[in-house]
Chains A and B, each alone.
Chain A
Amino acid sequence: MDAPSQPPGPASSTSSGHSSGPEIDARPVLEAPDIARVVTRIAHEVVERAKGAHHVVLLGIPTRGVFLARRLAAKLEEITSRAIPVGSLDITMYRDDLRLGPARTLARTEIPTAGIEGRLVVLVDDVLFSGRTIRAALDALNDIGRPRAVQLAVLVDRGHRELPIRADYVGKNLPTSLRETVKVQFTELDGRDSVLLGVRPTSPRGGAEGERADAGQ
């Protein structure tokens, strides 16, 4: 797009629209201890609702959903003292906005060897926004097998759904405006655990487009 238009002075602020996300006025709404507590609570909820988490398979949606799924699996193993299959489900080729930009780089799909046939699949993602990512994930799952049921766990639900989709397990409901941005950071990738709420710098055309990109993540 128009990223490298102003190279000299405010290099950091121009780059924020693209790669590093909402650095301006981003304030943490969840810190590391909060995220740890949320993961523990969701794990217990999964055990409760799935009556002991037999047949549960966790599938994280890349990138950050995968890290969350692994943490959730570790916590579930702690609680149930059984190995919980965990994998990743890349939804890139199932996105409804594939044709709206250059071909996207694929991420890894790793289905646990036990498969998903007849199991309870819990999809795990960091932020639930428009719901389009989850729709794509359901389509992707359809090509892989037929689970007994599919549930959804997210760290943050920020609202603004565009499809009839809701999460079964929510870390934190975070009412936002469309101008705000939600950024999840995980130690594995970003060096720290936090959820940041920021405000997108007002740009005439970047707004809606950029938020859609965020929703995809």
Chain B
Amino acid sequence: MKRHLISAADLTRDDAVLILDTAEEMARVADRPIKKLPPLRGRTVVNLFFEDSTRTRISFEAAAKRLSADVINFSAKGSSVSKGESLKDTALTLEAMGADAVVIRHHSSGAPHRLATSGWIKGSVVNAGDGTHEHPTQALLDAFTMRRHLAGAADGGPTHHRGPGDGTGRDLAGRKVTIVGDVLHGRVARSNVHLLTTLGAEVTLVAPPTLVPIGVESWPCEVSYDLDAVLPTSDAVMMLRVQRERMNAAFFPTEREYARRYGLTGDRMARMPEHAIVMHPGPMNRGMEITAEVADSPRCTAVEQVTNGVSIRMAALYLLLGGNEPALAPSAAADKPARTEETSTP
């Protein structure tokens, strides 16, 4: 993972499994009376959010606090950013305050990468969603949820809705995952395609042609326009939110037509294999991409995904900040020495 977590595509299979295994141990702390661990005592984690996000921010905040880090929340609204401060000056300010890690969400794709490679800050950078690019911790928590349900039984198979199991050490080899909805604006879809493929799963994207990005042919996945055709062979179906705030152009005629063709209803869910799960990163538009019947069924893991998000972010922060250097394989070590030289020379 190097010293930053910018993109799910940077993670090797071993890195990803290590993060998931670490999250499995972190998840056990949630059952204890004292939900607190000491490894990040004295470290400062800054949540730098240029875009509104309640759940991701509080998830990172809870994760950092459970590991005993000090958390500083910096939201662009009402800060010097709204007075026109650049990303660079904000970063230099955070560096001067001694941030050991910066968790950044930005409306521009590539902002976390810029922050990590510019030499402005010495700490680790964690991408919490950048533009339409990536959202790696969301993909990790989705993979974690899938592993617990689809590889959590004692024999490594699905748990058949008898509650999540422990999939420590396993990957998602051979599992079929269908991601339905707005792939064009969804950074969740891109991160998931990379991570799930790395873990051995076969991913199919289902969306109206207008919501499939150009260049999708180069992604390691299939693309389909017919939801009903892929449902019977899916082990997990992930419904993405229709992002109304990004729908200024007409991507589909009406919401009703979208819901009819791409929404997950009770009838459609019945056509999925008996062990298959329904996932949703939230917030859900009930009646749009998912009906209330499906959202409230025991097969829907939306609430569990929120819980797992805290465990995954604890794992990522621990592996990045727990030692004097990150635990994960220096897969892209090439850019690391160059960067440290650059920062140490002045």
Contacts and interface: CB of A to CB of B under 8 A. Distances in A.
Contacts of A108: 25
Contacts of B39: 93, 98
- A contact patch SS: loop
B38 A99 contact: no
Given A143-B32, A145-B33, A106 B324 contact: no
A103 to B, nearest CB: 3
Interface in B172-208: none
Interface string A138-181: 01000111000000000000000000000000000000000000
A104 interface: yes
A102 interface: yes
A135 to B, nearest CB: 13
A98 to B, nearest CB: 6
A203 interface: no
Given A106-B25, A108-B25, A98 B322 contact: yes
B323 A104 contact: yes
Nearest to A139: B38
A100 interface: yes
B327 A109 contact: no
B28 interface: yes
Contacts of A143: 32, 34, 36-37
Nearest to B18: A105
Interface residues on chain B, size class = 20 to 34
Contacts of A109: 25, 28
A186 interface: no
Nearest to B33: A145
B25 A103 contact: no
A145 B34 CA distance: 9
B34 A93 contact: no
B291 interface: no
A143 B39 CA distance: 13
Given A103-B327, A105-B327, A109-B25, A144 B322 contact: no
B319 A103 contact: yes
Nearest to A92: B39
A204 interface: no
Interface residues of A, number: 19
Interface string B306-321: 0000000000001111
Interface string A65-100: 000000000000000000000000010011000111
A34 B303 CA distance: 53
Contacts of B255: none
Contact of A144 (B34, B324, B327): B34
A102 B28 contact: no
Given A93-B322, A98-B323, A99-B323, A106 B36 contact: no
A101 interface: yes
B226 interface: no
A93 B326 contact: no
B325 interface: yes
A105 B37 CA distance: 15
A90 B25 contact: yes
A144 B32 contact: yes
Contacts of B320: 103
Given A103-B326, A145-B33, 8 more contacts: A93-B39, A93-B322, A103-B322, A103-B323, A105-B18, A106-B21, A143-B32, A143-B34
